[in-house]
Amino acid sequence: MTDKLSSFPITKKWPATRPDVLQLYSLPTPNGVKVSIALEELGLPYEPHLVKFDTNDQLSPEFLSLNPNNKIPAIIDPDGPGGEPLPLFESGAILIYLADKTGRLLPQDPARRYEALQWLMFQMGGIGPMFGQVGFFHKFAGKEFEDKRPRDRYVAESRRLLAVLDRHLQGKAWVVGDEYGIADIAIFPWVRNLAGFYEAGELVGYADFKEVDRVLQAFLARPAVQRGLNIPARG
């Protein structure tokens, strides 16, 4: 296994001390913790590596060799399809891969599988980008902009997305009915971040979305979620 991983340049910057297990390159952000939470839920052995944005680790040649899009998370699974190592980036793709690898967290019934995947895409195409823009314009550099129209545009869209999710969750334990899975793991770290780290709960009227908060609290109560939210540990 060591020889297999040694062919990946990223292992020069982040050496694998356990080259026989899945290697995770990440940071505990909403996108990053999707994969650590999934790994904790699945009980798969893995080795986390912290990618520090404050030192531009994501722009290093070693990281770019694994993910040319310079975003976290990314993985190398030494035991990929056919027993060969598999490098993979994009959090949604990694979640699908882990679910398929283990036969868990994604319904086996084809119709239910696609139902779960549509909500995963809902997060990736809507919730993630829109909530992220709210964070930029409300908490970070955008808060200095006198023109509040960009902020208000993203606030309105984030509120619309929350309303879609809130209506869908009525009478359901999880996004896909009673079956917890990768759609929940993708969506709820972003919901947590919007009202928490971004401090935008009042701005988007989060208190109006009782169903969303109900499921968020159930999500946060899961031990694997509590562990995964802090992996990799910040140095």
How many residues make up the chain in this entry? 235
Bond from prior residue into 129 cis (ω within 30 degrees of 0): no
State if pTM tops 0.75.
yes
Q: Which of 34, 30, 4 is nearest to 22 (CA)?
A: 4
Mean pLDDT of 77-106: 98
Same domain as 83, residue 23: yes
pLDDT at 184: 99
Considering Cα of 118, then 80, then 32, then 136, what sign does the dihedral take?
Answer: negative
Indicate whether 2 pLDDT > 60.
no
Domain stops at, among 73, 104, 135: 104
Same domain as 216, residue 122: yes
Residue ranges of E strands in 51-116? 74-77, 86-89
- CA 147 and chain centroid, separation: 31
pLDDT in tens, 158-172: 999 999 999 999 999
Same domain as 77, residue 15: yes
Q: Three-state DSSP class for 122?
A: helix
In angstroms, the first-to-last Cα distance of the chain is 27
pLDDT at 141: 84
Mean pLDDT of 23-43: 98
Q: What is the CATH number of the domain that holds 163?
A: 1.20.1050.10
Indicate whether 1 pLDDT > 50.
no
Indicate whether 65 pLDDT > 70.
yes
**C-alpha to C-alpha distance for 86 and 96, rounded to whole angstroms:** 14
Domain stops at, among 72, 88, 104: 104
Q: What is the CATH number of the domain that holds 75?
A: 3.40.30.10
Q: Three-state DSSP class for 196?
A: coil
Indicate whether 98 pLDDT > 60.
yes
pLDDT at 143: 81
Same domain as 48, residue 66: yes
pLDDT in tens, 112-149: 999 999 999 999 999 999 999 999 999 998 888 889 99
Domain stops at, among 72, 104, 136: 104
Same domain as 151, residue 173: yes
Indicate whether 175 pLDDT > 90.
yes
Share of the chain above pLDDT 70, in %: 99
Higher pLDDT, 190 or 234: 190
Same domain as 117, residue 73: no
Q: Which domain holds residue 215?
A: 110-222
Indicate whether 206 pLDDT > 90.
yes
Domains held by the chain: number: 2
pLDDT at 119: 98
